[in-house]
Amino acid sequence: MFTDVLIIGTGISGLSFAIKLAQNDPGISITLISKDQVSEGNTKYAQGGIAVVSDFEKDSFKKHIQDTLLAGDGTCDREVVKFVVEEGKDRLKELIKWGSQFDTQQENLHLVKEGGHSEKRVVHYKDHTGLHIQQVLVNKIKSFNNIKILENHTLVDLITDHHSKEKYKRCYGAYVISKEEESILKISSKITALCTGGAGSLYAHSTNPPIATGDGLGAAYRAKVHMDKLPYVQFHPTALYHKVNGNTFLITEAVRGAGGKLRNSLGECFMDNYDPRKELAPRDIVARAIQKEIQKQKEKFVYLDSCNIDSKTWKNRFPKIYQTCSKLDIHLPQDFIPVVPAAHYFCGGIKVNTKSESNLKGLYAIGECSATGLHGANRLASNSLLEALVFSHRAALDTIDSLKKKLPDSLFYEALPEWNGDSYSNSVEIKEIHQLRFRLQEVMSLHVGIFKTTKGLKKADLEMIEIYKKIQKIYNQHKLTNGLCELRNMVSIAHLIIQQAQSITINKGVFFNQDYA
């Protein structure tokens, strides 16, 4: 199969990138692949909204830039922060033109204040902004004849020089496994974009869906693509506490923005002891404060008290959270919500330039799987949907230019080899995959979570090598499946995070090694 542009991932970054390209030239062929159904991914779960300066009487680009730099703890790329903040307004207008209907108040956008923001600037659709955006983008995509979507297709590996006799030092597409047929397709392309999202599933508790296993990062790593800031994993302070491990429901920061207070098991408000901004301090500070309280009180969670948010606000502003809590017998606003920090966002990823291009020609990385320099060591709340929109636009402009240049001809793409190495017919048992995945998550959560120690990282390193050996053995002796692909990527990225974490001696943003405190 050949396509001009292959886009791996159908969240906000992949979809908006595809729309831009299709709008510009109906003559180019675009193929989008998604590991699950088209709408599954982190985008769908975004609650809070998009940070964009809109009220220029009270707010300014300067303030948003300053807030982003402050959250990033001196590690953001200033040029990137400036253009992302400034270009956000136009990208938001486009999103509205494509059909998004963000909440308004007296005909102006309703703006919310979230942690680390000095002003109200988060644009939202009730408490399920991501789901709304995802639906709008999927609808828009359907209006283009030159976009093809392959659902339930998983990226296995990128096609690069070592698959080709010629040496162009480019990316030429990807090998992809179809979940239904369990066969491996070669999809060659002039341009390839990784829009594969994050890797929250490396941890026992994550706000991400289970498919967030860092596949794009794993494939890029095997293709020797440069990575940046991998150990900077953001934990969201307030995920709903569950008794069992797994993917957990988020209680958006906007609840704290609306007046929600954090209390420990003794009923005490504790944020005052940690930061003058209290509940609205940046996420890393609030997450560490909660973790400290949990350890101090020897409990498994703290409480979010939302008594001062009235029922009407709950039902209108936060209907999804309200319903989810109701189903669990937590009646709002009178009941406290048990909350715990959970792995939420990968600040690091594939290192890209200001056009979202990686160091491998023809390969772009957009959205959460990329490291653009916007977040540095810590992401400011609601800056990631913004980043995805700004960078998909920039990547599209660059792709349009690249497609005009001389690229390998069709004979070259035809000559690329089919996937080689799947000669086994026996699949590994699902149980074995689950056990290894569970063990990996345990190691990451125990030693590579919010608080790290040098000794813990060393232990994690040794354990991960053992897990890696087991997975590699399975990979070498079994038929490739979706689950095995995920596990292979998870262990590679976990190993890289641990390796890089061991060389960090200064705590910045979300990274905290107690031995360097």
For ligand FAD, the binding residues (CB under 6 A) are 8-14, 33-36, 40-43, 45-50, 129-130, 154-155, 195-197, 207-208, 211, 215-216, 250, 345, 367-368, 382-385, 388
Helices 78-97 and 61-71, interaxial angle, to 10°? 120
Is 283 a known active-site residue?
A: yes
Q: Helix, strand, or coil here: 483?
A: helix
Q: What is the 3-state secondary structure (H, E, C) of 92-116?
A: HHHHHHCCCCCCEECCEECEECCCC
Q: How are beta strands 349-351 and 370-371 bridged, if at all?
A: parallel
| H helix runs in 27-124, sequence order | 42-45, 61-71, 78-97
CA angle 318, 249, 156 (to 5 degrees): 125
> Which long-range contacts does 452-458 make (Cβ < 8 Å, 24+ apart)?
452/501, 452/511, 452/512, 452/513, 452/514, 453/513, 453/514, 453/515, 454/502, 454/513, 454/515, 457/498, 457/501, 457/502, 457/513, 458/502
Catalytic choice (170, 283, 317, 437): 283
Q: CA nearest 184: which of 194, 192, 172, 175?
A: 175
Least distance (Å) from ligand FAD to the CB of residue 172?
A: 17
Nearer to ligand FAD, 20 or 264 (CB): 20
Q: Read off the amino acid at residue 55.
A: D
Neighbours of 164 (CB within 10 A): 18
Nearer to ligand FAD, 14 or 115 (CB): 14
Phi, psi of 187 (to 5 degrees): -115, 105
Which residue has 């409990």 as its token pair?
Answer: 299
Least distance (Å) from ligand FAD to the CB of residue 394?
A: 14
Q: Read off the amino acid at residue 290.
A: I
Least distance (Å) from ligand FAD to the CB of residue 40?
A: 6
| Rounded Cα gap, residues 349 and 383, in angstroms | 16
For ligand FAD, which residue has the nearest CB?
11
Nearer to ligand FAD, 278 or 344 (CB): 344
Nearer to ligand FAD, 11 or 257 (CB): 11
> How far from the centroid of its chain's Cα atoms is residue 29's Cα?
27
Nearer to ligand FAD, 458 or 479 (CB): 479
Phi, psi of 32 (to 5 degrees): -110, 135
Least distance (Å) from ligand FAD to the CB of residue 332?
A: 19
Encode burial over 39-66: b for 16+ CB neighbours within 10 A, e otherwise. Answer: bbbbbbbbbbbbbbbbeeeebbeebbbe
Helices 129-141 and 384-402, interaxial angle, to 10°? 20
Nearer to ligand FAD, 184 or 460 (CB): 184
Contact 394, 355 (CB under 8 A): yes
Nearer to ligand FAD, 176 or 428 (CB): 176
Nearer to ligand FAD, 35 or 163 (CB): 35
Within 13 Å of residue 53, how many CA atoms lie on the same side as its CB? 20
Structure letter (DSSP) for residue 153: E
* Radius of gyration for the chain, computed over Cα atoms and rounded to the nearest angstrom: 22
Least distance (Å) from ligand FAD to the CB of residue 304?
A: 15
Nearer to ligand FAD, 101 or 106 (CB): 101
- The residues annotated as belonging to the active site are 283
